[in-house]
Structure 1
Amino acid sequence: MAKAEFTDQLQKLRSGEISEIKVQPTEFMDFQEAFMDFEARKRVIGTAQKGGIVVYTFEKAQSE
């Protein structure tokens, strides 16, 4: 996936359209570029999985 695709995925994650983003080790640098430009990145939580895969979810505020 390219940076633009990850940017779109991050927006969908924030809106609740999708519940998670799975990032393979080979895609991490493209994801990282999109992540660093994402205005709500402090609410994106990554959880490491087996094989170097990281699953990202979005932390909703308690009032949401």
Structure 2
Amino acid sequence: MEKYENMLKQLQNGELKSIEIEKEQFYEFREVLVKHPLFKHFRGEAKQNGRVIYTYQEVARS
């Protein structure tokens, strides 16, 4: 879980451009993501085979 928190922090700070989550990691990652105070700033884009690519947006989605 701490691994995912660090990844989200790096994404937010611009150290990473995106995070790629495989379907096996999705539920564990999502549990950390929805508790994040800036949850609505993270955007997930579904790809083939259950992969999701997350990016950080300066403007929160509605």
TM-score (norm 2): 0.89
Residue 50 (structure 1) aligns with: 48
Unaligned regions of 5+ residues in structure 2, if any?
Answer: none
- Displaced runs of 4 or more, over 3 A: none
Residue 24 (structure 2) aligns with: 26
Question: What is the identity percentage for the equivalent residue pairs of Structure 1 and Structure 2?
Answer: 25
Give, in angstroms, the shift of residue 35 of structure 1: 0.2
Unaligned regions of 5+ residues in structure 1, if any?
Answer: none
Residues 6-25 of structure 1: pairs in structure 2 closer than 5 A: 6-25=4-23
TM-score (norm 1): 0.86
Q: Tell me how large the CA RMSD over aligned residues is.
A: 0.9
